[in-house]
């Protein structure tokens, strides 16, 4: 085992620690990024992805680990922000030996970083990694873990959407509203159920025929459209991106008819100016890293010994956090994304400062 050297890319100067990990025998190449441990050990998932080059992998882990610091801070967790990427094709390169080699690198950090699932890694992979490190979450129920984190991810998105509805229409309910759900994966399916239970009507789309078949069979009252472009142009009150990142670009914002955007996808803004474009069009955007934090709340609860009701209660508070962000945004005349960043930075600074008080 050893380390491999970065060839350039994004400046990691704002991060506490960036670790390059390599095990030639298993083919492991991984990068672990720790943005901040001001609030506690860094927590964030491991992404297994076939990056085009090392710089792309590095840029991704730097962006994602920073985002996790802000997400964890606003979720009220005493955890910092970190993330890891494994450079490779999970369908071809993933093996027990590779995952266990990666687990040993996580263990070598001595608890500064807890890992979890992300794109290309699953609960079963976390169980394998846990054979080499105790600093892993997102494990199977059989091993004392929380299991599928999409359950509370969707619940948190629903709470954020309720807060947005209250802000725009005066009542914290989606009853009588038409919600467009883009992506009927695990989060989109759970969210659809919550919306229908609340009295909303749902229009949805997905690139997967199996997901569309699920919708037809499970919720025949859901209207299905051909693609995301048709969904965005539809007569909807709320747009819920629940698939890939970058869902909100210039063309989408120009076409969008919804008054509210609240969804489960990560990194929804295609570039930093999109939040202002949304605000200029009178569209309320609830920051994705705020409303989709239910998943990280769920896996973080494993560190204490998982209790679903406790984790669900914490995820329900996403309603209050979203409400406070929207209030602050109005008071300070800034987009909600900027208000969310300020609240996260304030908590990291104020609570993090307490660690300077020496305890014997």
Q: Which residues are catalytic?
A: 83
Would you tell me how many other CB atoms lie within 10 Å of the CB of residue 235? 9
Say if residues 20 and 54 touch (Cβ distance below 8 Å). Answer: no
In whole angstroms, give the CA distance from residue 253 to residue 275: 10
Q: Are 93 and 55 in contact (CB under 8 A)?
A: no
Strands (E) located in the chain = 17-23, 28-36, 42-43, 46-49, 80-87, 113-114, 178-182, 201-205, 223-224, 238-241, 260-261, 284-285
Tell me if residue 234 falls in helix, strand or coil.
Answer: coil
* Residues written for the chain: 360
The crossing angle, in degrees rounded to 10, of helices 308-316 and 318-332 is 20
The helix/strand count (H/E) of the chain reads as 15, 12
Q: What are phi and psi of 262, to 5 degrees?
A: -145, 115
Q: Give the start-end residues of each E strand in 141-273.
A: 178-182, 201-205, 223-224, 238-241, 260-261
Cα separation, 303 vs 247, in Å, equals 33
Q: Which residue has the tokens 């919720």?
A: 219
User: Residue 315 belongs to what H/E stretch?
Assistant: helix 308-316
Query: Which residues face 49 on adjacent strands?
Result: 87
Rounded to the nearest 10 degrees, what angle do helices 150-169 and 308-316 cross at? 30
């Amino acid at each position: 085992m050893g380390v491999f050297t970065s060839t350039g890319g994004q400046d990691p100067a704002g991060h506490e620690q960036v670790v390059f990990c390599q095990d030639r025998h298993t083919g492991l190449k991984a990068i672990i990024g720790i943005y901040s441990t001001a609030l506690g050990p860094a927590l964030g998932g491991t992404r297994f992805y076939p990056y085009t080059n090392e710089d792309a992998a590095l840029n991704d882990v730097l962006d994602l680990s920073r985002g996790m610091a802000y997400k964890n801070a606003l979720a009220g967790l005493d955890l910092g922000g970190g993330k890891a990427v494994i450079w490779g094709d999970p369908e071809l390169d993933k093996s027990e030996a590779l995952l266990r080699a990666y687990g040993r690198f996580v263990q070598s950090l001595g608890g500064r970083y807890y890992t979890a699932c992300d794109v290309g890694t699953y609960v079963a992979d976390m169980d394998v990694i846990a054979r080499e490190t105790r600093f892993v979450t997102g494990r199977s129920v059989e091993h004392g873990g929380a299991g599928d984190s999409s359950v509370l991810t969707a619940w948190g998105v629903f709470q954020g959407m309720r807060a947005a509805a209250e802000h725009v229409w005066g009542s914290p309910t989606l009853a009588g509203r038409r919600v467009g759900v883009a992506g009927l994966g695990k989060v989109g399916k759970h969210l659809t159920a919550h919306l229908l239970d609340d009295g909303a009507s749902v229009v949805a789309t997905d690139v997967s025929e199996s997901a569309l078949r699920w919708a037809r069979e499970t919720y025949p009252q859901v209207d299905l459209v051909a693609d995301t472009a048709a969904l965005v142009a539809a007569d909807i009150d709320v747009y819920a991106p629940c698939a890939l990142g970058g869902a909100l670009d210039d063309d989408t914002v120009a076409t969008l008819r919804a008054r509210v955007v609240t969804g489960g996808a990560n990194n929804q803004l295609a570039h930093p100016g999109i939040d202002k474009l949304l605000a200029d069009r009178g569209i309320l955007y609830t920051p994705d890293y705020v409303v989709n934090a239910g998943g990280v709340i769920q896996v973080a609860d494993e560190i204490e010994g998982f209790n679903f009701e406790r984790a669900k209660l914490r995820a329900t508070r996403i309603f209050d956090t979203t409400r406070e962000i929207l209030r602050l945004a109005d008071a300070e005349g800034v987009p909600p994304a900027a208000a969310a960043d300020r609240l996260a930075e304030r908590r990291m600074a104020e609570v993090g400062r307490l660690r300077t008080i020496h305890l014997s």
